[in-house]
Amino acid sequence: MTKDIDGYQVKVQIDGGEDAAGKEDVVILQGWGTTLQVYAQIAQLLAASGKYRVVRFNFPGFGDSDEPKERWAPGDFADWFVKFMQEMGIKKTTLMGHSYGGRVIIHLASRDPKTLPFSINRIVLVDAAGVMPVRTKQQEAKTRRYKRLRALFANPVMYALFRAPIDEWRSKQGSADYRAASPRMRECLVAAVNEDLQEKMPKIRQDTLLVWGDRDTATPLSDGQKMEALIPGSGLAVIKNAGHFSFLDQPVVFQNIMKAYFEL
């Protein structure tokens, strides 16, 4: 179904029945560049138990949902999510976040609980983002070179003389996510990757399960280990031979972890 949340038309999928009576709500917050369909197996596993109602949705700018009207940082997506929860009438929930969704959850869970119109029962972070990588000297040199070239190619005369090679150069810059994004969502992505959330993690008080693929190159296992050290009482489950989408790379192992944690 499609719902209007604070002026944004977004897709929403509910597994386990519309009525939450007698069930615990689990809300899945998606990773960057994904759609709610990516998390179907997780939602169906939890809903099939009869104990949980699972809510999936596309953030503004994800899938075919309306894009933000301005540059949003993860904190802005968190503010929008609060309005989403109010519109959905959810008062208590478990939050599960993959990749970018983890960023939003960290923002929410580190806030004063009194400022939220809902309570967070527990948290599951899957290959979550939020730890800014330490740049090597080589990476810093590459960044400086990129900025020099970007400034040079922005010169109207230079661009008029070398339009084709400059366009080709620009098309190859940034990550695959960045290149695939619209201009507005590129702004949102840049805001996210330049934000380090480690100082917020010790403020998280909910029971927190961290699930990580040992071959994740987008948010490496070391990020999960840092989160485990910073989030009080958290636990880390490592899935071997899995990457950034550990729940898709090793679905049976991931589902067994979920069955144990959610007591299915």
Query: Is the model more confident about 63 or about 155?
Result: 63
Tell whether the model's pLDDT for residue 170 goes beyond 60. no
Return the pLDDT at 256: 98
Is the CB of residue 191 less than 8 Å from the CB of residue 68? Answer: no
Tell whether the model's pLDDT for residue 167 goes beyond 60. no
Give the position of tokens 């709500």. Answer: 25
Give which of 127, 120, 131 is closest to 237, Cα–Cα. Answer: 127
Return the pLDDT at 155: 75
Confidence of residue 133 (pLDDT cuts 50, 70, 90): confident
Between the two ends of the chain, the Cα-to-Cα distance in Å is 27
Strands 207-213 and 119-126: parallel
Query: Is the model more confident about 212 or about 17?
Result: 212
Tell whether the model's pLDDT for residue 10 goes beyond 60. yes
Q: What is the mean pLDDT of residues 165-188?
A: 70
Sheet holding 8-15, edge to edge: 2-5, 8-15, 52-57, 24-29, 92-98, 119-126, 207-213, 235-239
Tell whether the model's pLDDT for residue 144 goes beyond 80. no
Report how far residue 125's alpha carbon sits from residue 118's, in angstroms, rounded to the nearest whole number: 19
For the entire predicted model, the pTM comes to: 0.87
Tell whether the model's pLDDT for residue 174 goes beyond 70. no
Query: Cα 17 to the chain's mean position, in Å?
Result: 25
Q: What is the mean pLDDT of residues 21-46?
A: 94
Q: What is the mean pLDDT of residues 146-159?
A: 69
Sign of CA dihedral 220, 221, 223, 224: positive
Is the CB of residue 212 less than 8 Å from the CB of residue 237? Answer: yes
**What are 236-259's pLDDT values in tens digits?**
999 999 999 999 999 999 999 999
Report how far residue 229's alpha carbon sits from residue 264's, in angstroms, rounded to the nearest whole number: 28
Tell me the percentage of the chain whose pLDDT exceeds 70: 85
Give which of 14, 103, 12 is closest to 62, Cα–Cα. Answer: 12
Tell whether the model's pLDDT for residue 136 goes beyond 60. no
Tell me the percentage of the chain whose pLDDT exceeds 90: 73
Report how far residue 73's alpha carbon sits from residue 124's, in angstroms, rounded to the nearest whole number: 21
Return the pLDDT at 205: 95
**What are 99-122's pLDDT values in tens digits?**
999 999 999 999 999 999 999 999
Q: Tell me the domains of the chain and their CATH numbers.
A: 2-132+195-261 (3.40.50.1820), 137-181 (no CATH)
Looking at the DSSP bridge assignments, the partners of residue 5 are 8
Tell whether the model's pLDDT for residue 215 goes beyond 60. yes
Q: What is the CA radius of gyration of the chain?
A: 20
Tell whether the model's pLDDT for residue 234 goes beyond 70. yes
Rounded (5°) CA angle 172-212-64: 50
Confidence of residue 233 (pLDDT cuts 50, 70, 90): confident
Q: Which amino acid makes up residue 12?
A: V
Return the pLDDT at 17: 83
Is the CB of residue 94 less than 8 Å from the CB of residue 24? Answer: yes
